């Protein structure tokens, strides 16, 4: 998984009050890169731990989706806000505060005994990650004054987050199988403590002498509006009809987001400058990033569930099974510049999106969780295509903006990755939940109405209900649940393939050359 090396937005900074020696510069980079590695791991580490976690906490299907993607949604909604606040109060203070919040939230998540506690802890983790990610690159720019060293430092910083997200499922599988699902969060605590202690010693303080206005009303509108829309998306899969509170939530959330956009367009110093979207290349590249990264993170999540729940994989084996996907993604990111030089960004993006879509369609048609060999080719194609799109999409976002607006473009770029991750799981998770319910038989033997409701809520609910039945009835319930979940995964793969195919068509049309050569 790869992002562009373009960082989050920063404004001019006064130099640090104390000199930064060469050795200290690289120590600062080590601290910041380790923190980004942790943030990346937490994006995907829970994926393989979900089956064991659901057996302990018994979340509904909607609650499970909140547990998984509330982290990335919180992170996306607060990135720009925390960057602006860090410019005002000091980047070192913001980063260290983020370490503290991240470590405390990890401890709370590890020992959560209810679904509500875990969701709240994941929100706090997202807050801590946003505080860290929003200010780290500003610190790098202050510390590394040489252009060549700074380019290397930002490349290492970017790779740390990508590597973390890629190895997250494997780390989660190793830890879950040995110590249980809570340990996937508990391992963050000692690392965060060390990072905090070392960071307090080596990171220099810096501020923006002329910080931008901190738009608290804009923050409230964006966070509340996004929460309303995502809540409605998640609840929509619970039943065949849409309850009026869900419709009201969707409408209210959409209206608040409309007010947010209108407010940002009128402010002299907006949190997000939406005028950048007037450039067709910029807006199209942003859509490509959101669609691709959302589909990729959702594939990581639902593939691990599918392998464990219908294929009988252990958490560790499921994590290892994703390595071809991760390796192909890294190769795609590395070879993306070569593809762009040969066929330009337009056709490289279009072809890679189409390849990703074709791989998901193939997975929907012939994928079999019981035959791992049938999945390898699709994972290699999907991973490679996603790696190319993430790299070239981010590059297109940055190249479409004028140099003096690179910071604002980078803010939207980073937000689009995290927002894509959250929305991908939310939208496709709703599709899986609805398909799972539709494919359960109307009558299952030996179940009380309460047990029947639990089976409809989630696959874990089916496992709990089967535990109280006789062998024959339990086999029938689990067979029905596996079939329904398999159909749900097929629907997810097919819908994601359709979305990516539409995005490929958009890229082919909208990225065509205009007055100047489109990259």
- Report the pLDDT value the prediction gives residue 406, as an integer from 0 to 100: 61
* This prediction's pTM: 0.82
Residue pointed to by tokens 């964006």: 222
User: How far is 184 from 175, CA to CA, in rounded Å?
Assistant: 6
Domain boundaries, the chain: 1-214, 216-266, 278-519
- Report the pLDDT value the prediction gives residue 446, as an integer from 0 to 100: 72
User: How far is 394 from 392, CA to CA, in rounded Å?
Assistant: 5
Q: How many residues are given for the chain? A: 519
Q: Is 318 exposed, middle or buried (0-12, 13-18, 19+ CB in 10 A)?
A: buried
- pLDDT tens-digit map of 238-291: 665 667 788 898 899 999 999 999 998 888 878 777 888 888 989 999 999 999
Q: Distances in Å between the alpha carbon of 17 and those of 85, 205, 263, 272?
A: 20, 7, 37, 30
- Among residues 118, 130, 124, the alpha carbon closest in space to that of 101 is found at 124
Q: What sign does the CA torsion over 115, 121, 122, 124 have?
A: positive
Count CB-CB contacts under 10 A for residue 148: 8
Q: Any residues with CB less than 8 A from the CB of 371 and at least 6 apart, and which?
A: none
- Report the pLDDT value the prediction gives residue 177, as an integer from 0 to 100: 86
User: How far is 77 from 210, CA to CA, in rounded Å?
Assistant: 24
Q: Are 397 and 289 in contact (CB under 8 A)?
A: yes
CATH of 278-519, one of 1.20.1250.20, 2.40.160.10, 1.10.3720.10, 3.40.630.30: 1.20.1250.20
Q: Distances in Å between the alpha carbon of 424 and those of 235, 334, 400?
A: 15, 24, 25
- pLDDT tens-digit map of 107-161: 999 999 999 999 999 999 999 988 888 777 778 778 887 777 776 776 677 677 7
- Report the pLDDT value the prediction gives residue 370, as an integer from 0 to 100: 82
- Report the pLDDT value the prediction gives residue 389, as an integer from 0 to 100: 92
Judge whether 1-214 and 278-519 match in fold.
yes
- Report the pLDDT value the prediction gives residue 487, as an integer from 0 to 100: 92
Domain 1-214 has CATH 3.30.200.20: no
What residues of the chain score a pLDDT lower than 50? Answer: 1-12, 516-519
Q: Are 508 and 346 in contact (CB under 8 A)?
A: yes
Q: Is 374 exposed, middle or buried (0-12, 13-18, 19+ CB in 10 A)?
A: middle
């Amino acid at each position: 998984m790869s992002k562009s090396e373009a960082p989050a937005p920063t404004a001019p900074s006064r130099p640090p009050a104390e000199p930064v020696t060469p050795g200290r510069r690289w120590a600062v980079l080590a601290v910041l890169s380790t923190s980004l590695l942790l943030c990346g791991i937490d994006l995907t580490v829970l994926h393989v731990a979900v089956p064991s976690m659901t057996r302990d906490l018994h979340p509904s299907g909607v609650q499970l989706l909140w547990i998984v993607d509330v982290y990335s949604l919180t992170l996306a909604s607060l990135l720009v806000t925390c960057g602006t606040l860090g410019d005002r109060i000091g980047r070192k203070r913001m980063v260290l505060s983020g370490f503290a919040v991240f470590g405390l939230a990890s401890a709370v998540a590890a020992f959560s005994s209810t679904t509500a506690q875990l969701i709240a802890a994941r929100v706090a983790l997202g807050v801590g990650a946003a505080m860290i990610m929003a200010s780290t690159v500003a610190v790098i720019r202050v510390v590394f004054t040489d252009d060549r060293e700074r380019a290397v430092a930002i490349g290492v910083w970017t790779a740390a987050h990508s590597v973390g997200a890629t190895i997250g499922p494997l780390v989660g599988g190793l830890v879950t199988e040995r110590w249980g699902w809570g340990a996937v969060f508990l391992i963050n605590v000692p690392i965060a403590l060390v990072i905090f202690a070392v960071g307090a010693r080596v990171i220099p303080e810096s501020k923006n002498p002329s910080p931008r206005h901190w738009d608290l009303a804009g923050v409230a509108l964006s966070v509340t509006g996004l929460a309303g829309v995502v809540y409605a998306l998640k609840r929509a899969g619970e039943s065949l009809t849409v309850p009026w509170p869900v419709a009201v939530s969707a409408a209210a959330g959409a209206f608040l987001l409309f007010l947010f956009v209108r407010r940002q367009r009128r402010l002299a110093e907006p949190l997000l400058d939406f005028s950048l979207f007037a450039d067709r290349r910029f807006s199209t590249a942003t859509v490509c990033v959101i669609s691709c990264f959302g589909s990729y993170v959702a594939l990581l999540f639902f593939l691990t569930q599918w392998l464990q729940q219908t294929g009988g994989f252990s958490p560790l084996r499921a994590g290892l099974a994703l390595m071809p996907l991760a390796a192909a993604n890294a190769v795609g990111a590395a070879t993306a510049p070569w593809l762009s030089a040969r066929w330009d960004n337009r056709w490289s993006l279009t072809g890679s999106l189409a390849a990703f879509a074709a791989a998901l369609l193939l997975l929907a048609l012939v994928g079999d969780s019981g035959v791992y060999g049938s999945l390898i080719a699709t994972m290699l194609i999907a991973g490679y295509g996603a790696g190319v799109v993430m790299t070239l999409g981010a590059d297109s976002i940055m190249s479409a903006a004028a140099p003096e607006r690179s910071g604002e473009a980078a803010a939207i770029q980073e937000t689009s990755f995290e927002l894509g991750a959250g929305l991908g799981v939310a939208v496709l998770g709703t599709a899986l939940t609805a398909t799972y319910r539709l494919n359960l038989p109307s009558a299952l033997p030996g179940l009380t109405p309460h047990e029947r409701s639990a089976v409809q809520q989630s696959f874990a609910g089916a496992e709990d209900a089967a535990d109280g039945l006789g062998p024959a009835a339990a086999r029938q319930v689990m067979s029905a649940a596996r079939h329904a979940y398999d159909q749900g995964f097929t629907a997810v793969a097919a819908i994601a393939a359709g979305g990516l195919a539409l995005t490929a068509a958009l890229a082919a049309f909208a990225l065509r050359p205009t007055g100047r050569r489109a990259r």
